[in-house]
Amino acid sequence: MTKKSILIAGCFVASALCAQAAPRNPSGMKTILVLGDSLSGGFGLKPSEAYPALLANRLRSAGLNFELTNASQTGGTTEGGLERLPAHLKRKIDIFILELGINDAFRGVPVDQIQNNLKQMIDKVKARNPNVRVVIAGMQLPNYAADDYVSAFGKMFGDLAAKSGGALVPYLLDGVAGDPSLNLPDGIHPNADGQRILAENVWRVLEPIAREVSKGSSRSPNAFGARDLSIEH
């Protein structure tokens, strides 16, 4: 290899290292973290079909400069969320979308414990990001479950939103649950059409918050745009 070739190769390596070291959240770009389970992860679908990716597209189309990270995991529970959250606290979070709890309920975890775990996650995010806006995705259990538990579980999300100062998506699966045409054959996870409705359900709550949070950003939305950064499985 000639000296000239070595120099050129060295430049390429240096450029690659610089690109890897560059911050993934340019100054002025706001951030959204989605921490959820398979409903947010888009179980059985392409990542681009899950509602968080659809929200990223909506943000971009609205001219809102956000970077969205989908940290959802199939089978995710509130306990698991507490374990996974610290890795995401290293970066600033402007909006925190929390969608966990239904898998706990399917396992019979006491509602008080579920709520406590969710509150701990919110508290941890707020401790590192005092101005974070929290969006809580509410869930409901099928009617065949025990009535007292069903009632307490459904009510928990509204109580949590009120106590934490968060915004509530009353029922994430509104318009989707129980409709075979909007779910995968398992009857539990939304298909691509169902995920589009989930995106609408969340967008109604998220849009005004995102517009408020984005005020004062000095970067042009066209420079970066909203995008889905990462997906955990």
> Which residues are identified as catalytic?
38, 186, 189
Report the alpha-carbon distance of residue 226 to residue 65 in Å, rounded: 6
- Residue 123, judged by CB atoms within 10 A of its CB (0-12, 13-18, 19+), counts as exposed
Closest CA to 100 of 46, 186, 41, 167: 41
Report the alpha-carbon distance of residue 176 to residue 223 in Å, rounded: 35
Cβ atoms of 117 and 98 within 8 Å: the answer is no
Please name the residue ranges forming H helices in 77-218: 78-84, 102-106, 111-128, 147-164, 192-214
Residues comprising the chain, all counted: 233
- Residue 135, judged by CB atoms within 10 A of its CB (0-12, 13-18, 19+), counts as buried
Please name the residue ranges forming H helices in 89-179: 102-106, 111-128, 147-164
Q: Look at the block and give the residue holding tokens 């059985």.
A: 44
Report which secondary-structure segment, H or E, holds 71.
none
